[in-house]
Structure 1
Amino acid sequence: MQGHDLTLLLDAAKAAGDIALKYFQSDVDTWDKGGGQGPVTQADIEIDQMLHAELLGARSDYGWLSEETEDNTERLDRDVAFIVDPIDGTKSFINGHENFATSIAIAEKGVVRDAVVHCPVKQLTYWASAGQGAFLNGEAIAHNGANAVRSARILAAGSQMKLGYWKDQPPPIERHFRSSLAYRLCLVAQGRFDGMMTLRDTWEWDVAAGDLICREAGAKVSDRGAKVPIYNQSRPLLAGMIAAAPELHDGLIPYLK
């Protein structure tokens, strides 16, 4: 079933991309979700509804966790669950920028086993299955980033450099930014950057798919406490995420409080 699940995710992600492109750089309806959750658009909702229908229509015994679907506890009774972000990087999407993605993962007993991240404007589709490697548009990818902390090219928001996260000073890295966490993880998997980090608490749907893609490409992934993330939790919030080559990853951790 696992191989068939990956095909299901790939087809669904590309259909999601078609919807996103229909609304991209248009006057799409947009509103704020409130409570500091940020904006959402009609495209987010339409993609979420399509994915819910297609994915659960094919796998009715799986649980469902999505940024744009009201959560309930039914998924906790399922060994396998979809973890979905219809548009990761909604602000970028609203502003007409191309760095957004649809992120879809399947987690089994807390561990992601299938993952797809699709960037429709860039025409990039990343995917992975546990133990099978990571791929971009059908070609195998591998992380080949730097091992040393000094001058490592790290994807991170400027807020991650605040002293409150660090024991003393932030590490001597070269910081870069992309708006979508899922896409950041894929760029690390691809070897275009040495690592990524988000130190604030992070929703599972933002990183579940990218986590597996990074691991399968050879990077090391953990939360900010160096623990391996567990997915489909009752409160689906992780203690941040750090992904990099194993030596670089382990070199960044001691800087953190």
Structure 2
Amino acid sequence: MPAPDTRTPTAQEDLALLCRAAEHAGEIALQFFRRDPKTWEKPGAGPVTEADYAVNSYLAETLQAARPGYGWLSEETPDNTERLDRDTVFIIDPIDGTRSFLQGSGSWAHSLAVAHRGQVIAGAVHMPERGFTFTATLGGGAWLNGAPLTASPRAALDGATLLANKFSLASKYWPHGLPPVRRHYRPSLAYRLGLVAEGRFDAMLVFRDTWEWDIAAGSLIATEAGARVSDRHGHALRFNTEHPVSSGLIAGGPAIHGALMHQLG
């Protein structure tokens, strides 16, 4: 009998695992899509559907069986402190954009990431209804369906395109004046980060506290495409923290990111 493989997987191997799992997760989710799935309200967190739970169950079983030494953090799994003792963890949002899923829109995604000692090293954002898969590994670039991604090189804030909800442009947030941008919106945070990585939008931001599972994969994809990604205060992101939230999120080409931070004071 051959000896068990005790070698530490590479980021590329982890990404391949994430992509295989995300593709099958999409097949599961599509069985419920536009078919009136059972839905519940999570207090203070919005809706969750039987599709979210089915995808989470599949991913938890498949990914943890493949990497039994990794910790686990998922929106749909009760959290515990065991993951804090692991150097490497999965950070998973089974369906990012559940409201979009329920509305029959295609702007929802499976967000799957692997973080090592607080830094994401592999990430996949898969959008089954649209046929998109954004991927990245640390130091390996960012890709959309195998094509390389480059974030927007735009330098001028005036007229830049910004993915944000309408409340983000309230004057109370901008002591140096409202940024002269053109606002757009997509419901999935993971998708917004992918769109910034793709260069289709110059930047995105969110001011509310943001769960790690919403942004882990997408933040790596945007960074590897050349965007700068930080919390709303300009601080670098860390993952697998005891309270797994970021103080908001700002992502964009380096010049636009800097200009937004200036406007924020």
TM-score bracket for the superposition, by shorter chain length: over 0.9
d(CA) in 1 for partners of 2:153 and 2:63? 35
Q: CA deviation at 1:170?
A: 2.0
Residue of structure 2 in register with 1:113 after alignment? 121
Aligned equivalents of 1:129, 1:148: Cα separation in 2: 29
Q: Distance in 1 between matches of 2:179 and 2:150?
A: 25
Out of 6, 22, 35, the position equivalent to 1:13 is 22
- Is the counterpart of residue 159 in structure 1 residue 167 in structure 2? yes
Output the CA distance in 2 between the equivalents of 1:193 and 1:212: 17
1:142-221 alignment runs, 5 A limit = 142-221=150-229
Which whole-Å deviations, capped at 9, do the CAs of 1:122-153 have from their partners, x for residues lacking one?
Answer: 00001000001001111111113422111100
User: Match of 1:33?
Assistant: 42
Task: Give, as a single letter, the amino acid of the residue that structure 2 aligns with 1:14.
Answer: E
Supply the distance in 2 between the matched residues of 1:168 and 1:147 (Cα, whole angstroms): 18
Alpha-carbon contact 1:145-1:244 (below 8 Å) kept? no
The runs of 4+ residues in structure 1 deviating greater than 4 Å are: none
Cα distance in 1 for partners of 2:225, 2:258 equals 17
Per-residue deviation at 1:60?
Answer: 0.7
Give how far 1:168 is off: 4.5
DSSP 3-state at the match of 2:200: coil
Letter in 2 for 1:39: P
Contact kept? 2:176, 2:262, Cα under 8 Å: no
* Equivalent residue in structure 2 for 1:63, among 56, 60, 71: 71
Distance 1:120 1:147 in 2: 33
Figure out how many residues of one structure are paired with residues of the other and give that number: 256
Contact (CA 8 Å) 2:152, 2:252: kept in 1 or not? no
CA deviations over 1:147-180 (Å, ceiling 9, x no partner): 2111100100111112232214321110000000
Counterpart CA distance in 1 for 2:14 and 2:186 is: 29
Number of the residue aligned with 1:79: 87
Q: What residue number does 2:140 align with?
A: 132
Larger radius of gyration: 2
Measure the CA separation in 2 of the matches of 1:231 and 1:148.
Answer: 31
2:235 maps to 227
For residue 103 of structure 1, what is the amino acid of its counterpart?
A: S
Q: Could you tell me the TM-score, scaled by structure 1's length?
A: 0.98
Q: Tell me, in whole angstroms, the C-alpha distance in 2 between the residues paired with 1:172 and 1:204.
A: 29
| CA–CA distance in structure 2, aligned partners of residues 22 and 11 of structure 1 | 18
Asked if 1:43 corresponds to 2:51, the answer is yes
Q: Are 1:145 and 1:193, in contact at CA under 8 Å, matched by a contact in 2?
A: no
| Partner SS state of residue 23, structure 1 | coil
| 5+ residue gaps, structure 2 | 1-8
For the residues of structure 2 that align with 1:112 and 1:147, how far apart are their CA atoms? Answer: 27
SS of residue matched to 1:112: strand
Which consecutive residues of structure 1, in runs of 5 or more, have no partner in the other structure? none
